[in-house]
Amino acid sequence: MPKIAPRVPMGEQPALQRIKNFNSVPYGYTEDEAVEEATRCIQCKKPKCEPACPVNIGIKEMNLLIAQRKFKEAYLLVKEDNTFPACSGRVCPQENQCEGDCILVKFDEPIAIGKLEAFIADWGSKHKIEVEQAIADNEDKHVAIVGSGPAGLACASECRKYGYAVTIYETLHKAGGVLQYGIPEFRLPKDIVDEEIQKLEDMGVKIELNHTVGQNIYYYELVSQNDAVFLAMGAGAPKFMGIAGENPLDSVYSSNEFLIRANLMKAYKFPEWDTPIVVGEKVAVIGAGNVAMDSARTALRLGAKEVHIIYRRTKEHAPAREEELHHALEEGIVFHELVNPIRFHGDENGFVDYMELVKMELIEKEDGRLSPEPIEGSNYYMAVDTVIEALGTVPNRLFLDRAPEIKRNKKGVIIVDENHMTSVEGTFAGGDAASGAATVIKALGEGKNAAKSIHAYISSSD
Amino acid sequence: MSFSILLFFIALKSYKLNIFKGEYVSFKITQMMDLDSIDYLVDVEAPEIAERFHPGQFVMLMTRKEGERIPMSVMKVEDGKLSMFIRKLGKTSKELRDGITSFENVIGPLGHGIEEKEYGTVVVVSDAVCGHAENYAICEALNKIEGNHIISIQTFPSEKEVYPEDYLTKSVSHRHFITTEDGSNGTKGNYVPILQNLVDNGVKIDFVFGGGKLPTMKAVSTLLAKNNIDNLFTTRQMMVDGSGMCGACRVYIDGEMRLACVDGPMFDSRKINWTRAMKRYSMFKKEEKKADDHYEAHKGHKGGCGSCQK
């Protein structure tokens, strides 16, 4: 086994500088850096990284092409399998997917596949590489897609390639779903999202903004006007702890509200932009997923003096990506493990003043799972003036309550078969709406696969 | 020949520049009237929304690309236009005062509308804080249905703020009461004593719709509970997206969390946990002032002065 060169580090804004702005944290690889990193790939006979990718990008060949400086070819190769490499390269949990299965993990650090993917995507758009897409002639067949998040966009792109007339219905005034309202600018610059969506529109995909299916356009209309419908409205409704004091207290946000204000409504540009956001000096974020990290880091950038992450398990159990947790800690965010809030106390104006916490311990359950249990009598107090609850999300019932014929499970997640078809023939579902809250790349993969099923369905019903 | 080639290239170029691609929907303001009261009356062209609107539903407004999404009640729908009362308060109303001619965005209709059916005797109440628009829309719709007897009560701060007659609910109800907080017109106080009076005088009330200040609604909910009258009240809540994503408008109904935007905006007042009903508006008071000051300082927003880049 030849000695493997160490991973090429990526330049990034120093922590003390970046907490004062919303610019991208990593600078991205230069061409030389990318070539050096891609050269580390040992070109396995049977690459394990590719099957670990939810959209099965030809990673091995991508690395080879980058190493040979054939950037254009590499870009076209990646685009074949993934419509949004610039996004997924930045936000995928690569350590659990491609990079996790990279053979180099055994010897050293894996190939920085995500960073290379982002590099090649940026290179392609910087050099204005046009992807020549053969679009079949099927314009008389219509596909309606509900939601313009990753699943909807991926499905739209694939369906368009099959030649169908595709219309996406989006509730908000900007397309992109979680890429737009959820993931902050410093992690995924919105110019990139806008550009990827523009490319989709250039392919001929129609995007109807401000259209809330179930509200100002009805599901039955979509069904009657289209040959297939794809539901990809995600899991956009916030969960709350439901503990005493969280309401009527001001300054308790859901992470969704906090991030929508900051990202979609650009509250960090207030008052040039109209939507305000209030962040106190001492902020507590409940939860330790990616959304919690995004909220915490956003709060810091909005001027909070101290930001605390409150998590009932230990740091090792935090569902956030390693990189996000690492960036958050580097920026000075304090991580409190094995604690859980039980009550918020307000001041005379109705704002949060302090919260009561209880220490937790992890108890092994019969099934071997570690379950956090409160330690009696360990209660203590912590002064806070803003609380952000990042406890995960559930599917938004706005649409589903108005379309009861679509079967869902108890959690409100749409039930689909192996072809992504719902209980209603011709209506398909994917992304978080059909699998509960998951990742961007999983949604992209499901959107892509659902498009295949939609194509098969429409072709067979001719 | 060469001319047609030129034309072809112009067409191609325009296509690339997105000029011909997709029609830009502008929400034109067709009328902006100072009611000489607390509100402006604003009519906006929004045929798609008008076609699907039901009384009780609301819309979200954005005055400009950088604007906030503001929930707004609709008073009337006619010829593809929505009429709204917009409070003379804060930045949005100043933009109106200074002559914006269209909205960047009008989104809706959102929330559930009321059931348009025969109720019997219906009382609709509202005050200056909330509900005059819903009051009108509900009275107008139910007035058209046979078997409904409609009593409308509207509260204003004082005589000076009472709307011109065309915008009161007088013409769309069978009985109409005005109350003012200082007693300068009609009964003094809010609408609760009038409702109490009707009950005391043996008027059989089948349903009450309404909105208003939190303490007033809390008081009226007690009255309705005591007399077991079915009702729906608008819980005015702060919203960001208006489609169930942010959770800012959470209210507690029978102990369960509900969202005003998706499950409401109207709920049975007897089931609302009023002490938990939020007053999160106060959270952004300082910010509203800041936005207002910023607007005054940079009025015009035409670009060029550069002062907003400091």
Do the chains contact at A276 and B288, CB–CB below 8 Å? yes
> What does pTM read for this prediction?
0.89
Of A206, A212, A397, the CB nearest to B110: A212
> How close B3 comes to chain A (CA, Å)?
27
- Which CA distances in Å does A69 have to A63, A74, A126, A188, A308? 10, 9, 16, 26, 44
Do the chains contact at B282 and A238, CB–CB below 8 Å? no
Question: Which residues in chain B have their CB less than 8 angstroms from residue A259's CB?
Answer: none
Per-residue model confidence as pLDDT tens digits over A14-50 = 999 999 999 999 999 999 999 999 999 999 999 999 9
Considering the domain architecture, whether residues B169 and B211 belong to the same structural domain is answered as yes
The confidence score (pLDDT) of residue B14 equals 45
Domain that holds residue A173: 142-236+395-460
Domain CATH for B206: 3.40.50.80
Do the chains contact at A236 and B308, CB–CB below 8 Å? no
> How close A106 comes to chain B (CA, Å)?
43
Tokens representing residue A96 in the block: 């659990």
| Residue at A365 is within a domain | yes
Q: pLDDT over 70 for what percent of chain B? A: 85
| Residue at A133 is within a domain | no
| Cα–Cα distance measured from residue B111 to residue B241, given in angstroms and rounded to the nearest whole number | 12
What chain A residue is nearest to B274 in terms of C-alpha separation?
A248
Considering the domain architecture, whether residues B150 and B229 belong to the same structural domain is answered as yes
| Residue at B31 is within a domain | yes
Render the burial of B77-90: b for 16+ CB within 10 Å, e for the rest: beeebbbbbbebeb
| Residue at B266 is within a domain | no
pLDDT grade for B280, boundaries at 50, 70 and 90 = low
The confidence score (pLDDT) of residue A396 equals 85
Answer whether A260 touches B (CB < 8 Å): yes
Question: Which residues in chain B have their CB less than 8 angstroms from residue A278's CB?
Answer: 283-284, 286-287
How many Cβ atoms from other residues are within 10 Å of residue B271's Cβ?
A: 15
Considering the domain architecture, whether residues A231 and A243 belong to the same structural domain is answered as no
The confidence score (pLDDT) of residue B300 equals 53
Do the chains contact at A215 and B288, CB–CB below 8 Å? no
> How close B294 comes to chain A (CA, Å)?
7
- Interface with chain A: mutation pick from B246, B251, B272, B298, highest number of A CBs within 10 Å: B246
Helix (H) or strand (E) holding A117: helix A113-126
Number of domains in chain A: 3
Per-residue model confidence as pLDDT tens digits over A297-313 = 999 999 999 999 999 99
Number of domains in chain B: 2
Considering the domain architecture, whether residues A295 and A332 belong to the same structural domain is answered as yes
| Residue at B58 is within a domain | yes
The confidence score (pLDDT) of residue B176 equals 92
Considering the domain architecture, whether residues A99 and A208 belong to the same structural domain is answered as no
| Residue at A199 is within a domain | yes
Considering the domain architecture, whether residues B97 and B170 belong to the same structural domain is answered as no
| Residue at A6 is within a domain | no
Per-residue model confidence as pLDDT tens digits over B135-186 = 999 999 999 999 999 999 999 999 888 998 889 999 999 999 999 989 888 8
| Residue at B4 is within a domain | no
Q: Is A90 helix (H, G, I), strand (E, B) or coil?
A: helix
Question: Which residues in chain B have their CB less than 8 angstroms from residue A277's CB?
Answer: 287
Of B52, B262, B279, the CB nearest to A248: B279
Domain boundary among A375, A393, A411: A393
Do the chains contact at B66 and A274, CB–CB below 8 Å? yes
pLDDT grade for B22, boundaries at 50, 70 and 90 = very low
Of B62, B109, B247, the CB nearest to A238: B247
| Residue at A447 is within a domain | yes
| Cα–Cα distance measured from residue A338 to residue A359, given in angstroms and rounded to the nearest whole number | 6
- Bridge partner residues of B177 (DSSP): B153
Q: Are A110 and A102 in contact (CB under 8 A)?
A: yes
Per-residue model confidence as pLDDT tens digits over B185-208 = 888 889 999 999 999 998 899 999
The confidence score (pLDDT) of residue A102 equals 92
Pairing of strands B70-73, B58-62: antiparallel
Answer whether A243 touches B (CB < 8 Å): no
Considering the domain architecture, whether residues A330 and A370 belong to the same structural domain is answered as yes
Do the chains contact at A206 and B22, CB–CB below 8 Å? yes
Residue A175 has pLDDT above 60, yes or no: yes
pLDDT grade for B282, boundaries at 50, 70 and 90 = low
- What value does the mean pLDDT take over residues A327-344? 94
Question: Which residues in chain B have their CB less than 8 angstroms from residue A190's CB?
Answer: none
Residue B18 has pLDDT above 60, yes or no: no
What chain A residue is nearest to B104 in terms of C-alpha separation?
A173
pLDDT grade for B310, boundaries at 50, 70 and 90 = very low
| Residue at B160 is within a domain | yes
Do the chains contact at B240 and A274, CB–CB below 8 Å? no
Domain boundary among A126, A159, A194: A126
Residue B85 has pLDDT above 70, yes or no: yes
Residue A228 has pLDDT above 90, yes or no: yes
Helix (H) or strand (E) holding A61: helix A59-67
Question: Which residues in chain B have their CB less than 8 angstroms from residue A350's CB?
Answer: 279, 282
Q: Are B67 and A274 in contact (CB under 8 A)?
A: yes
User: Would you say how long chain A is, in residues?
Assistant: 462
Per-residue model confidence as pLDDT tens digits over A30-40 = 999 999 999 99
- Interface with chain A: mutation pick from B240, B257, B281, B287, highest number of A CBs within 10 Å: B240
- Interface with chain B: mutation pick from A206, A215, A263, highest number of B CBs within 10 Å: A215
The confidence score (pLDDT) of residue A166 equals 94
Domain boundary among A339, A364, A393: A393
Helix (H) or strand (E) holding A154: helix A150-161
Considering the domain architecture, whether residues A207 and A291 belong to the same structural domain is answered as no
Residue B12 has pLDDT above 50, yes or no: no
Residue B278 has pLDDT above 70, yes or no: no
- What value does the mean pLDDT take over residues B46-54? 91
Per-residue model confidence as pLDDT tens digits over A434-448 = 887 788 888 988 999
pLDDT grade for A150, boundaries at 50, 70 and 90 = very high
Do the chains contact at A278 and B276, CB–CB below 8 Å? no
Domain that holds residue B58: 27-110
Phi, psi of A181 (to 5 degrees): -95, -25
Q: Which residue has the tokens 């200074």?
A: B98
Please give the residue that has the higher pLDDT: either B237 or A10: A10
Q: Are A53 and A98 in contact (CB under 8 A)?
A: yes
Residue B238 has pLDDT above 50, yes or no: yes
How many Cβ atoms from other residues are within 10 Å of residue B195's Cβ?
A: 25
| Residue at B259 is within a domain | no
State the DSSP string of chain B: -HHHHHHHHHHHHHHHTTSSSSPPP-EEEEEEEE-SSSEEEEEEE-HHHHHH--TT-EEEEESSTT---EEEE--EEETTEEEEEEES-HHHHHHHHTT--EESEEEEEESPPPP-S--SEEEEEEBTTTBHHHHHHHHHHHHTSTT-EEEEEEEESSGGGPPPGGGSSGGGSSEEEEEETTSSSSEES-SHHHHHHHHHTT----EEEE---HHHHHHHHHHHHHTT-EEEEE-----SSSSSSS-TTEEEETTEEEEHHHH-SEE-TTTB-TTTS--GGGGGHHHHHHHHHHHHHTTT--SSS-GGG-
| Residue at A121 is within a domain | yes
**Angle at the Cα of B126 from the Cα atoms of B121 and B129, rounded to 5 degrees:** 165
The confidence score (pLDDT) of residue A130 equals 84
- Interface with chain A: mutation pick from B106, B283, B285, B295, highest number of A CBs within 10 Å: B283
Domain boundary among B199, B234, B269: B234
Q: Which of the listed ranges A237-251, A399-413, B73-87, B270-284 does the model predict with the highest average pLDDT?
A: B73-87
> How close B306 comes to chain A (CA, Å)?
12
Domain boundary among B203, B234, B265: B234
The confidence score (pLDDT) of residue A330 equals 94
Considering the domain architecture, whether residues B92 and B163 belong to the same structural domain is answered as no
Q: What is the mean pLDDT of chain A?
A: 90
- What value does the mean pLDDT take over residues A101-119? 91
Question: Which residues in chain B have their CB less than 8 angstroms from residue A270's CB?
Answer: 287, 290-291
| Residue at B6 is within a domain | no
Domain CATH for B66: 2.40.30.10
Domain CATH for A374: 3.50.50.60
What chain B residue is nearest to A247 in terms of C-alpha separation?
B276
- What value does the mean pLDDT take over residues A69-83? 93
